[in-house]
Structure 1
């Protein structure tokens, strides 16, 4: 699945590290009342805490070993430390508790609301994230898992409804249209693409309809939201932003990183059950919308609590535009 060297010419933009991207509080940094509530609910004192420092939110996320020999993975956030993480974790708690058993995801054990804190406890799964750059063997098992995931979430389980649709997200993915109308900063757009803004705007205007569907999609599926369990399972975590859409959305979104790492994403598109019958124009429209999002996001001011976020978004900007270079021939 390796690219031809000539087509893998993604210039090496800065890449966020595979771990260490999040600035999270340690167990000892949590307020005493929060630690006491967690230990009380877990049923035993915490004897060791291993912070999980991947991702880009500022919330607490640690694997906790308890005095009785059990383990639990705990996430916690407060409105005082970061409203984004608090909102995301609260929504994740709601979704995780409603996911069907057929969805391969860490099992939610319990939640706590403590003043301005929300706490989520999941089963602690012995696992590792996929390697980056992607390696073919690990990618292959993830691709199989994504097909099963789409099957389990199509049609959308009643317990998860109602949900937002791609049409509801259209206002968040319209950067090229804002550029075309003069409402966004054209200097954010890499020079080779500036003369094509009107064309990209037209493609972007079709994405919501092209990607519409009745599948519950994760809509933030990245390697750092995937766990390769020691028992062979492939688990998807961090279900914060689910939407209704086409069953191929998560696969195509994930393939941006596959292309950026030099593997043949177009071959996956052409052969995978979720994408092989999808009109190329539909996938292009979605990729154009994603590219616009990353161009816009990467140009925003740094986030003090997430120092690697803009680097991550800039890498995805370059990877998505480079993939579009091969899919929209006039950009060559």
Structure 2
């Protein structure tokens, strides 16, 4: 079992400023009479299932600059992406958004589903592996106008090992230290293979998935960009490895990953390991006290997978 899960300190419906609650109720068309605050994820903002006086239900996310100065911009980016998604996408429909400059709230259709078990159960993991394949195919060609591009979005994370190699931390893994320059070159090479015409979620893990019987829903889209069709499948398998599953059997014959050069897959994983290793050593941002611990835990499991795939002694 992983040592840490994705969790943060979230606001509640009752703690939102009155003007924000009123703005959300205007979008809903009815006052909120009950709110069930949700846990999980790293945003310091609200995530709640709400019930209105007229019987309507919805899912509401809200965050403001007092909680974290960067988070409202993340919500705005998610609103832009989800508003452009086709109705057939397995994503809760965005009904509308509230934005007063400091606080941003998003109102979605409520999905009668639950997050997968953590750590992943094999049956649920297989269901979601198949669901991600269908998702990526359905979002090809990319349906969002002028999205951010993979090469631009991944440049910083794929080059993190170069920064670590320039000033190696004292607590680096010995194998990692021994191969820092090779890892830096390998990760940087991923930038040559990540482009494509698929809308990539990029943050697929158990707490960004909802299961409704055999149906799989995908939530939290602020980091989406246009890139290679196989990236989201790899992101999910990285999360499976984090939860103790052997990801390699899922690669054999995978509809999207099976035809990708194995070294390209390893290069992308190396970039992710470098990203987690570099960012996990930074101070925690406001309102997100556990994110660095989570990143370092992901670094350990992703690095172990990279080490296995490279075969470097």
Matched residue, 1:155: 141
User: Secondary structure in 2 aligned to 1:133?
Assistant: coil
Task: Quote the RMSD (CA, aligned, Å).
Answer: 1.7
1:60 CA drift (Å)? 1.5
| 1:94-133 aligned within 5 A | 94-133=80-119
1:162 CA drift (Å)? 4.0
Matched residue, 1:73: 59
Q: For the residues of structure 2 that align with 1:327 and 1:246, how far apart are their CA atoms?
A: 21
The yes-or-no answer on 1:211 pairing with 2:194 is: yes
CA contact (8 A) 1:156 1:215 kept: yes
Matched residue, 1:200: 183
Matched residue, 2:33: 47
After superposition, the Cα gap between the structure-2 partners of 1:276 and 1:67, relative to the gap in structure 1 and judged at 3 Å, is same
Matched residue, 2:307: 325
Match of 1:15 among 4, 23, 32: 4
1:188 CA drift (Å)? 4.8
Matched residue, 1:141: 127
| 1:228-247 aligned within 5 A | 228-230=211-213, 232-247=214-229
Matched residue, 1:8: none
Matched residue, 2:163: 178
Q: For the residues of structure 2 that align with 1:151 and 1:47, how far apart are their CA atoms?
A: 40
User: Secondary structure in 2 aligned to 1:64?
Assistant: strand
Paired residues, number: 313
Matched residue, 2:232: 250
Matched residue, 2:68: 82
The yes-or-no answer on 1:314 pairing with 2:296 is: yes
Q: For the residues of structure 1 that align with 2:42 and 2:111, how far apart are their CA atoms?
A: 21
After superposition, the Cα gap between the structure-2 partners of 1:270 and 1:98, relative to the gap in structure 1 and judged at 3 Å, is same
Deviations 1:266-316 (A, max 9, x none): 111112101111110000000000000000111112334112211211110
The yes-or-no answer on 1:63 pairing with 2:55 is: no
Q: For the residues of structure 1 that align with 2:298 and 2:169, how far apart are their CA atoms?
A: 18
Runs of 4+ displaced beyond 4 Å: none
Unaligned runs of 5+ in 1: 1-11
Unaligned runs of 5+ in 2: none
